[in-house]
Amino acid sequence: MNHKMTNVEALWPKLDKLYKFDPMQNRSVACETLTDPEGKYELNLIVTEAQAKELAGVMRKAFNEKRGEDWPDWSPKGLADVFKQDEKAWIVKLTKKSYGEASSKPKQFMQDGSIAAQDFQLTTGSKIHVMVGVRAWKYAGKSGVTLRPEAVKVVELKERVESDPFSEADDPFADEASDPFGSPPAPKGGSMSGPVPDDEIPF
């Protein structure tokens, strides 16, 4: 089952190449081929609460249609059991494994509908439309629903921002005294917010 989501925000997209986790480097690295069986494509979406609830309903429908008699139930109690919350929005994680097939790469389209170049890199903050593959599964006594990025269309491409190690936001001397004679810096304040109650999933 596929579900179309429109005008959502891309977060940490990895769709130009297959990526896999390298334990030696403790981070994701690009695979050398498009058929690496350990590789996967990833895309996080920042969506509204209404979009998250709609997607959760589609996930429940996909599970009910696929579920066999011996399947354990998939029973999240609220949106927070399915997605991550970020302030007033929700983060939806999409992952698609290669399964050793080069054709598994998600299709990407530009604003005019043309196919994006093979090495096109979608940027964080871009506004996009996404075709989400919704797949129910059962494995090793567990069951659930996985979400895959099947196709993406760029609505508004965010300009890539190169990291500047000496920008004002990342001052390498922020912890040092501003007084050249060694006066200690002023203490920094902070705030903590309490937990946000879960919203019920409409299914």
Beta pairing partners, 30:
19
Q: Is the pLDDT of residue 58 over 50?
A: yes
pLDDT at residue 189, as a whole number? 44
Q: Is the pLDDT of residue 195 over 80?
A: no
pLDDT at residue 75, as a whole number? 87
Mean pLDDT, rounded, of the chain: 84
Instruction: Kindly state the average pLDDT of the residues 33-53.
Output: 94
Instruction: Kindly state the average pLDDT of the residues 85-98.
Output: 92
**Cα–Cα distances in angstroms (integers) from residue 129 to residues 69, 156, 177, in the given order:** 36, 10, 47
3-state helix/strand/coil string of the chain: CEEEEEEEEEEEEEEEEEEEEECCCCEEEECCCCCCCCCEEEEEEEECHHHHHHHHHHHHHHHHHHCCCCCCCCCCCCHHHCCEEECCEEEEEEEEECCCCHHHCCEEECCCCCECCCCCCCCCCCEEEEEEEEEEEEECCEEEEEEEEEEEEEEECCCCCCCCCCCHHHCCCCCCCCCCCCCCCCCCCCCCCCCCCCCCCCC
Cα 200 to the chain's mean position, in Å?
22
pTM of the model: 0.77
Beta pairing partners, 108:
152
Q: Is the pLDDT of residue 55 over 60?
A: yes
What band does 17 get if pLDDT is binned at 50, 70 and 90?
very high
- In the chain, the domains with their CATH numbers are 2-156 (2.40.50.140)
pLDDT at residue 162, as a whole number? 63
What band does 199 get if pLDDT is binned at 50, 70 and 90?
very low
pLDDT at residue 79, as a whole number? 93
Say what percent of the chain tops pLDDT 70: 79
What band does 192 get if pLDDT is binned at 50, 70 and 90?
very low
